[in-house]
Structure 1
Amino acid sequence: MKNISLLAFLVGLSLSAQAQEVVIDTNYYAPPPVRRRVILADPDDNLKTRQSKRADNRRELLDQLNEIQTWYIGTEGGFRSDGSILSNSLDGLVSSATLTKANWSVLLGYTYHNSWTIETGYTRSPIHLNITIANNADPLVFNYLNNGYGIPLRIKRRIGSGKGSVNGTGFWLTGGAWLIPNGSGQTGDFQLIGYSRRGRNRIDTLRLNNTTTVFNSVTGIAELGIDYATRLSTRFELGFYARKYWGLGDALKSDLLYTVNNGSQQQATITSNGSGWGLGLALRYIYGRQFEVKKH
């Protein structure tokens, strides 16, 4: 009987052990959670994209339009040469050189249908008169000029391949005239004395007297040239020019009297009217524009 009870107890214990749920904590051994990396668009790139789209839309709109009128302010800078006219060299004693000096202008302009332009303003470009006196290897040089300013009026016409180019680019034929109040300018008189040996015992006394005046009346300059303009942006334009100038009246005059031993006399006259050449650059700011839709 005791053996049967013991056997029943052992069987029951075995069944109870098999029925129990074994729970094992695996948190310590679990792998770390997977971190997902999410990359978002840079907001600065979005801003650049929007700005680029706006610029593209603006260009597309401008491509569909023609400039029919523009207004601009500009400045020019370059070099201008002008010479003098000598009537008598006084036996090679006197000459007159062509001078090349810097000049600048401030201008206002109006362009119509990208074909015609008119501009005016203020230019600083004196008219010069040069007297060079031979003196062995070291000549004496005297330079005179008028008050230095003028009021130009210039008309331009688009020519050549530029006529069919995009707005603001191409070649222009230019012509115009300057109004020049001569004013007082820089003038002065001089007297020179020298000696010349002829033979062993003959020495001649040479005297040269000069009087230079600036005409107080108003004179002028006519010009003809060619420009090339290229549009740097919607507001700025760069230009290059070459021009020929013709004086419309004398601005300065020098009267020279040459004597030898207070006897023999010769006279000479030097006049200057501003005739010459000019080269330079122009920068223009377009402050107003009017458009029309292109006709296809």
Structure 2
Amino acid sequence: MHKAEMIGLGIVSAAAALGATVALTRTGAAPRHSGRSHVTGADVPAHLDAAKKLNRSSALLALSVLADSGMEHYRGSFENRAMYTPLAVSLLSLAAGVHGGMDSNPAAHRARDAIYLTAAATGLTGNGFHLYNILKRPGGFGWANLFYAAPIGAPIAVLLSGALGAAAERLRDEPERDPRLYGMPAGRALALLASVGLIGTVGEAALLHFRGAFHNPAMYAPVAIPPIAATLLAHAALATPQPKRWFTRFWLRCTALLGFAGVGFHTFGVARNMGGWRNWSQNIFSGPPLPAPPGFTALALGGLAALGLREGEADD
């Protein structure tokens, strides 16, 4: 790929990232009890609107997992038949998230809930498999194995997809007034979940970008922007509720943008390898993972949904 083509690709990726992020994150704080659907014009309870957004966030994260694990496990020739499991589970989680994002039924969907719980269990089990893959190698829990063995944090994305979806289903079963999850106000619980998820995703990105020696200054962005968003979101969860947290919302939107922009940078990273995109069948495996960055977008969108609920909660 010539330099002019690379520059053009970067411009197109940046423009697409900006447009997509504006479309996905153009949302204000959720009202105290109900809002108006942009699709039907009917009143929608705030907690149901947040649940649908969480379903969509879960779907985006499942799509990222499906593509990423599909590529990585294909590269591993599916040596262990269990390597097919995250593909099947993430595909089901994706379908459940798309269905839930369009479902205005205030009651939880039991089949979706079962899928989400299965996804969460799959993530935990997969993390055990990846940890075993690292420890069985010479050198054990050393840098070389953390860099080049099965990625230790990757299965957690399946867990987070299931957790977001399961929280969405439980939120649907809550009353319209003062919904609660896990013994806490729903906005607080969901904000903490999204915050922890962001920190975990930052850890995975930091490990892989450290492996790449941060050779591009842009590689510092995923370890600089999302931690600020996660900290602000955790503060919003633990502090006294405020009606408008524009600064927290701004950083969450920046994190959502980062996920899309990361795909553009990773696309450029693939193009830098010998043969560029003409040798795509090899370079998409040797270059930076294309499906990974949208995980930030999914969790940021979940954080925005949680923040909308939290801004409308009473002092607790």
| Higher share in helix | 2
Shared fold, TM over 0.5 = no
TM-score range, shorter chain: under 0.3
TM-score (normalised: structure 2) = 0.18
| Higher share in strand | 1
Q: Which has the higher contact order (CA 8 A, sep 6+)?
A: 2
